[in-house]
Amino acid sequence: MLEARNISLNVAGFSLLQDISLRVAPGVVTAVIGANGAGKTSLLRLLTGEQKPSGGVVTFNGSPLVDWQPEQLARMMAVLPQSSRLDFPFTAREVVMLGRTPHATGLARDAQIVDAALHAVDGGYLDKRFYTHMSGGEKQRVQLARVLAQIWEPVTEGPRILMLDEPTSAFDLAHQQLTLSIMRSLAEQGVGVLVVIHDLNLAARCADQLLVLSCGRIAASGAPSDVLTSKMIREVFHVDATIAVNPVTGTPLVIA
């Protein structure tokens, strides 16, 4: 389990994050929402160990993140950044194969996992195509397949964590839905999922737990139906919205 206790981040005299505590528990999907510049990506950087918090501590399985060997951590925790630039002509298969870098499961098993991960993101047809020739949505799907391949199987060392920073930003409706169902099925396998997402309705549909960031602080957290209120949306996003109930899924539906 990944746990942040009272973490804060100051950069060049600005306080970007203050006093944030949260847990990414196995089998739970946590969605982080908030306005632009609220500190969502900074929070992700602290949780992944990319940046050290100015105060507080992030622990994984009880030990501070800094005490983990990078390779060991990489076998359990995969991170998909907002955008990745890759200017070299790898094929989709080769990019996804890079997700197996921290593992020593052998080429045959890795090849099976790469196939399965590509198919999971509806990217089987991309297999031999060059990454540099793909559309924005195809590239994002290949990157998603790469992080899926990284945590495809349970490992004996500990629970798996997946962190995604706006994974659906370049996706059409079908692939947005696909991403949601991938996150849900990973959670069912016991993976702890943390996703930064802009679309409140997508967040409401996929998350067990919502975390609302506003100016570097947690403005609200809890189950989507408790957190998504017109009052919260007015205070955090400065937008008047009506909250209805999705007739199919029963989750909150934000109409703005």
Partner 1 sequence: MHRLPPKTFLIVSLALLVVALALGLLSGPVAIAPTRLLGLLSSGQDMDSRILQSIRLPRVLLAALAGACLASCGAVMQGLFRNPLADPSLIGVSSGASVGASFVIFFGGAGFLGGTFELTAIAVGAFVGGLLATAIVYRLASSVTGTSVSTMLLAGIAITALAGAATSLFSFFADNEMLRRISLWQMGNLDGASWNRVAIIAAVVLPMMVLLPREGRALNAILLGESEARHLGIAVESLKRRLILITALGVGVAVAVSGVVAFVGLIVPHLVRLMIGPDHRYLIPGSALLGAVLLLLADTGARTLMAPSELPTGVVTALLGAPFFVALLLQQRRKVLD
| Nearest residue to 169 (alpha-carbon basis) of 135, 120, 136 | 136
Q: Which of 34, 39, 53, 99 binds partner 1 (CB under 8 A)?
A: 99
Q: Which of 94, 122, 199, 208 binds partner 1 (CB under 8 A)?
A: 94
- Binding region for partner 1 (CB under 8 A) out of 98-106, 114-122, 188-196, 243-251: 98-106
> Is the alpha carbon torsion for 122, 125, 129, 134 positive or negative?
negative
- Binding region for partner 1 (CB under 8 A) out of 88-96, 105-113, 197-205, 219-227: 88-96
Torsion of CA 219, 45, 103, 71, to 10 degrees: -120
What is the per-residue binding string for partner 1 in 134-153, x denoting contact by CB under 8 A?
Answer: ------------x---x---
- Say whether residue 65 binds partner 1 (CB under 8 A): no
Look up residue 24 and give its two tokens: 């990414």
Integer-rounded Cα Rg, in Å, for the chain is: 18
Q: Which of 5, 28, 54, 90 binds partner 1 (CB under 8 A)?
A: 90
Binding residues among 208-237 for partner 1 as defined by CB under 8 A: none
| Nearest residue to 34 (alpha-carbon basis) of 141, 165, 139 | 165
- CB nearer partner 1, residue 58 or residue 236: 58
- CB nearer partner 1, residue 143 or residue 201: 143
Question: Mapped to the 3 state alphabet, what secondary structure does 200-233 carry?
Answer: HHHHHHHCCEEEEEECCEEEEEECHHHHCCHHHH
- Residues in binding contact with partner 1, number by CB under 8 A: 30
Residue 41 and residue 125: Cα distance in Å, rounded?
32
Q: How far is the CB of 22 from partner 1 (least distance, A)?
A: 19
What residues make contact with partner 1 under the rule CB under 8 A? 48, 50, 69-75, 77-79, 81, 84-91, 94-95, 98-99, 101-102, 130, 146, 150
